[in-house]
Structure 1
Amino acid sequence: MEIQHTNVSYTWGEPGGDETDETWSKPSQTILIDGCEMRIRKNLYNALIAFCQSGILGPIWIDALCINQNDIEERNAQVSQMANIYKNSEEVIVWLGHEREYTRTAVACFQRLPITRQELLSDEHVVSRDKAFASCSFTDLELIAMTRFFTDHAWFGRTWTLQEMWLAREMTFMCGTIYASVDVILTGSSIAHDSYSTRSATEDSQRTPAITWLMNFTYDLVAKLRKEVDGTSPSPLGFEVGYHRARHATDPRDKVYGLLAISDTTTVDNYMEPVVADYSKPVREVFSIAAAHCLLNTTSWRGLSYIGDHSRYRIPNLPSWVPDYTQAIPWRLLQRRSEDTFKTATHQQVCIEYDINSPYTIYSPYSYFDTITAVTTAYWEDIEGYSQMIEILNLALNPFPVNTSGGDNALSAMARTLTADQAGIYDYDSYDFVDQFGEMTYGMLWLGISNHPDMAYQLVKNPEASLSKALSFIGIRDREDLLSSLLRSYRQIYKTEEQRKLESKPTESPDQSLKVRTSLIQLD
């Protein structure tokens, strides 16, 4: 017989995320359980006091009290039961900590917004949200309060609380003596999130971890509520672990185990046994299993997209193909379509083999990787100029050749590989990404050589020869396929001096409608 109970979702440490204060991070308060004293952490103690004062009575399930954290076997067993524990509870109370000076203002602003859950979950949510926001005329102080409600509370950025939110049938948020429903929190987070979602790549790189909490939480809450309506299947564990790297966990292994109950823990063709919690395994092995799970559920190497910079890793001795899941990745990368975040230079699928008895090695009949690491950034900003384009061109073409198949050419292969960072921004049905990449490549190279008078002169006289020389100048030699790809779209625009006299009036190519305006210049 199931006992009706309430679950508490809270952070073990300081509610604002300060992990340096030991009065919060270690048990410092004493309570009585069946006449026996037990030491608990301060945030849980504050929650219990608030529950008593508010008339919230048991049965209440609390992880720190119901699981012996020092018994590995019990931890393993209880983590595997987490889905049932939360799904069978009448309600989950989210304890955010004591009320702050802006809490009442923030919640009151959330409640003022004239928008429903159905509107926020609909395809027209942007229009509805903008209309609701415009009707409220919030002051700057109110907007700051609304944002701080999410960025100042560590609950919104923890791994375990994400799973607890997804599993809850009903939720009530509690901050001191202030209560808020899921719908109120959904409305507030959507508005606060919207003020950051359109920022540029430069601003994105300056975003604080707390803002990332807000961005992640909004997407996750919307996904949870939509799942309740349409019943979508859970995502693979490897994807979830990579997607939620910005979330925090006291035990690094919980970056994986804290997501088991809301993920698909199987692999394609059941190549691996379903992942289960086992706290006897070292962090290195747990992360390797998660990375292998990600690779085995794909037909490409896109699972390697988020490897990152090994010099910044916190977890020692990780294999080169395994990400450090304690390291966050830029939010902008998380917005890309998962199938496009990493592509090799060809369309061929890859085959990956993994043996759980040798957890630190992956095999592929087609490819061999000694070391994989991040070499350069992939943001495209006007301020970066042509030098970064030349750097990436050299990185792609030298010393490794680009081998293509079918009717592919070197330019399209490079476009797919080097612009993976841009995946998902454009609608591929209406935007010819490869051609646009070619135009950008040509323009960047022209900008680079235009600073050299001799090379600029040669470009006007004979584009093909001068571009070949320009490519050689930056270290790309004997690449006729690349040169042909670059020039293909421009042969009718840039005629040689012998084919077209430079004039001061517009001219029209006989087989193109594009008009080209030239100026009368002196060629010495």
Structure 2
Amino acid sequence: MAISLEEVKLNDDIAYECLSYTWVGPKGGDTTNHRRMVCNNAVKYIQQNLYDILVQLRNSNILGPIWIDALCINQGDISERNSQVAQMGEIYKRAIRVIVWLGKEDGYTKTALESLERSTLTLEDYERDKSSSLREHRRCPYTYDEDCAILYFMVQRIWYSRLWVIQEIVLARDIIFFCGSHNTTIDTIWRGSLFIQYSDPDIQDDHNNLTEANFSFSFLAVCIFRHNRLRSPILNTIGYTVHLFRHAQSTDARDKVFGLLAISDCYNYHLQTTMKADYNISTQQVYTSAAKFASCDSRNLAALAAVGDQSLNQIISLSSWVPDLSVSQSLPPLEYLDTRFAAATQESYRLNWQDNALILDGLLWDRISLSSESDSEIANRKGVSRLLQVFNECGLRYAHSDDLLAKAI
């Protein structure tokens, strides 16, 4: 979880003050992980995770004012929830410091952090020359025990999988990571994220946490986004960010979009509208709006390719052109998707919507009468035979040269 130390009060109605707190023990007879605390003279029930970080902050002499969304937003009040989510971007941008709680320390924590802190690799070096990271990794060798400690430290933290942490990291001016009594910088953590790419496959197999490892490695993308978002306008559009971070997890499926509003440009000129957090509308409506923004923001038809395998959809009644963002699929970001949807013509197309139907105006250039197998199917003998059949039936007028056809055969 992440919390922010507030510099100034944003509005009179924002309840960020957690100036004093004391614990009065667990709820009587309750076997859950809830703890009771007194905050501003009111009793609050909190999760064990929040209890742990507050204890650590008190032991570290880090006191309020502190803004904690679990305490400062009434999740059961839709009106308040809409209002507070709209302000969270400003809260994290204007916070003196954002504190990230990775959980309690264990036997691996100290070794992992000390090992990662030996590295001098910077994010600028990594982006300028990706191979520099591998050279730095080899220059700063780790023992087998250190490898295991780093990998275990990174993959055992569910914090990396959560969508809401993205805006907290991207917007924060200053960030400190706590893991038990240990604290470190964001550079140490993203180096640990990058380490997963170079770690020994045998060690990864021993831990058998591929999903968690992918979440940990994806934190590097968050840091790169933080570093580059002001350089490239497309990085700021909500249509781009919802696809870039669709792998992240959220309890409320609508937060796949709402949780990224604070780091996105949410106004679309073509649609003449602004994306806003509204928990009164359905997930289907939120995802449909996000798909419209993505189609317009990408300025091509790449967003249609982001729909992916619809048989995996978990949200029912989505139109065929609307991706189910609640499903994490292995799809490249929008700017890397193949956008060559112009069949031998440079004529532009127009996108319009009528209710939930996507209307694409274009030119009928030709009709497909024959096709080969897919790339994966061509790899076997039957697929190659089918490909040769297509070549023979089409004739040389569709081949670039005699030599090309000969090579294909």
Same fold judged by TM-score > 0.5? yes
Alignment of 1:50-61 (within 5 A): 50-61=56-67
Q: Could you tell me which residue of structure 2 aligns to residue 354 of structure 1?
A: 353
Unaligned ranges ≥5, structure 1: 9-21, 198-202, 369-399, 404-409, 422-439, 450-465, 495-524
The one-letter code sitting in structure 1 at the alignment partner of 2:385 is G
SS in 2 for 1:323: coil
Alignment partner of 2:151 out of 147, 153, 160: 147
Mapped partners of 1:207, 1:31: distance in 2: 35
Q: Could you tell me which residue of structure 2 aligns to residue 71 of structure 1?
A: 77
- Tell whether the 8 Å contact from 1:303 to 1:342 is kept in structure 2 after alignment: no
- Tell whether the 8 Å contact from 2:234 to 2:297 is kept in structure 1 after alignment: no
Alignment partner of 1:126 out of 127, 131, 150: 131
Q: Could you tell me which residue of structure 2 aligns to residue 277 of structure 1?
A: 277
Mapped partners of 1:210, 1:367: distance in 2: 46
Residues 484, 140 of structure 1: CA spacing in aligned structure 2 closer, same or farther, 3 A cutoff?
A: farther
SS in 1 for 2:184: strand
**1:171 CA drift (Å):** 0.1
**1:156 CA drift (Å):** 1.1
Q: Could you tell me which residue of structure 2 aligns to residue 217 of structure 1?
A: 219
Mapped partners of 1:343, 1:238: distance in 2: 19
Mapped partners of 2:334, 2:273: distance in 1: 27
The structure with higher relative contact order (CA 8 Å, sep 6+) is: 2
Q: Could you tell me which residue of structure 2 aligns to residue 166 of structure 1?
A: 170
Residues 289, 157 of structure 1: CA spacing in aligned structure 2 closer, same or farther, 3 A cutoff?
A: same
Residues 325, 96 of structure 1: CA spacing in aligned structure 2 closer, same or farther, 3 A cutoff?
A: same
Structure with higher strand content? 2
Q: Could you tell me which residue of structure 2 aligns to residue 297 of structure 1?
A: 297
Rg bigger for which structure? 1
Residues 343, 232 of structure 1: CA spacing in aligned structure 2 closer, same or farther, 3 A cutoff?
A: closer
Residues 491, 302 of structure 1: CA spacing in aligned structure 2 closer, same or farther, 3 A cutoff?
A: closer
Unaligned ranges ≥5, structure 2: 1-5, 11-15, 18-30
The one-letter code sitting in structure 1 at the alignment partner of 2:211 is P
**1:245 CA drift (Å):** 1.4
The one-letter code sitting in structure 2 at the alignment partner of 1:321 is W
The one-letter code sitting in structure 2 at the alignment partner of 1:210 is E
**1:76 CA drift (Å):** 0.8
Alignment of 1:13-162 (within 5 A): 23=32, 28-121=34-127, 123-127=128-132, 129-162=133-166
The one-letter code sitting in structure 2 at the alignment partner of 1:236 is T
**Residues 441-466 of structure 1: CA deviation (Å, up to 9, x unaligned):** 799789538xxxxxxxxxxxxxxxx9
SS in 2 for 1:352: strand
Alignment partner of 1:344 out of 326, 341, 346: 341
- Tell whether the 8 Å contact from 2:190 to 2:219 is kept in structure 1 after alignment: no
**Residues 276-334 of structure 1: CA deviation (Å, up to 9, x unaligned):** 0000001111011101111122343211112223232111111111111111111xx32
**Residues 26-71 of structure 1: CA deviation (Å, up to 9, x unaligned):** xx22111233211122211111111112211000000011111111
Residues 224, 193 of structure 1: CA spacing in aligned structure 2 closer, same or farther, 3 A cutoff?
A: farther
Residues 489, 116 of structure 1: CA spacing in aligned structure 2 closer, same or farther, 3 A cutoff?
A: same
The one-letter code sitting in structure 1 at the alignment partner of 2:104 is H
Mapped partners of 2:324, 2:213: distance in 1: 21
**Residues 214-237 of structure 1: CA deviation (Å, up to 9, x unaligned):** 232102202313447x58664321
Q: Could you tell me which residue of structure 2 aligns to residue 188 of structure 1?
A: 192
- Tell whether the 8 Å contact from 1:23 to 1:42 is kept in structure 2 after alignment: no
Alignment partner of 1:489 out of 399, 402, 407: 402
Report whether the alignment pairs 1:448 with 2:362: no
Mapped partners of 1:492, 1:116: distance in 2: 48
Report whether the alignment pairs 1:248 with 2:249: yes
Mapped partners of 2:311, 2:404: distance in 1: 46
Taking structure 2 as the reference length, the TM-score comes to 0.80
Residues 45, 442 of structure 1: CA spacing in aligned structure 2 closer, same or farther, 3 A cutoff?
A: closer
Residues 275, 447 of structure 1: CA spacing in aligned structure 2 closer, same or farther, 3 A cutoff?
A: closer
- Tell whether the 8 Å contact from 2:35 to 2:51 is kept in structure 1 after alignment: yes
Report whether the alignment pairs 1:326 with 2:332: no
The one-letter code sitting in structure 2 at the alignment partner of 1:488 is S
The one-letter code sitting in structure 2 at the alignment partner of 1:448 is S
Residues 272, 58 of structure 1: CA spacing in aligned structure 2 closer, same or farther, 3 A cutoff?
A: same
Taking structure 1 as the reference length, the TM-score comes to 0.64
- Tell whether the 8 Å contact from 2:97 to 2:176 is kept in structure 1 after alignment: yes
- Tell whether the 8 Å contact from 1:345 to 1:402 is kept in structure 2 after alignment: no
SS in 1 for 2:76: coil
**Residues 134-188 of structure 1: CA deviation (Å, up to 9, x unaligned):** 1222123322322232222111111110011111000000011110112222332
Residues 293, 117 of structure 1: CA spacing in aligned structure 2 closer, same or farther, 3 A cutoff?
A: closer
- Tell whether the 8 Å contact from 1:94 to 1:171 is kept in structure 2 after alignment: yes
Mapped partners of 1:116, 1:442: distance in 2: 41
- Tell whether the 8 Å contact from 2:267 to 2:275 is kept in structure 1 after alignment: yes
Q: Could you tell me which residue of structure 1 aligns to residue 24 of structure 2?
A: none
Mapped partners of 1:46, 1:163: distance in 2: 23
Alignment partner of 1:480 out of 380, 384, 394: 394
Tell me which stretches of 4 or more aligned residues in structure 1 moved more than 6 Å.
440-446
The alignment-based identity, stated in percent, is 28
Residues 235, 136 of structure 1: CA spacing in aligned structure 2 closer, same or farther, 3 A cutoff?
A: same
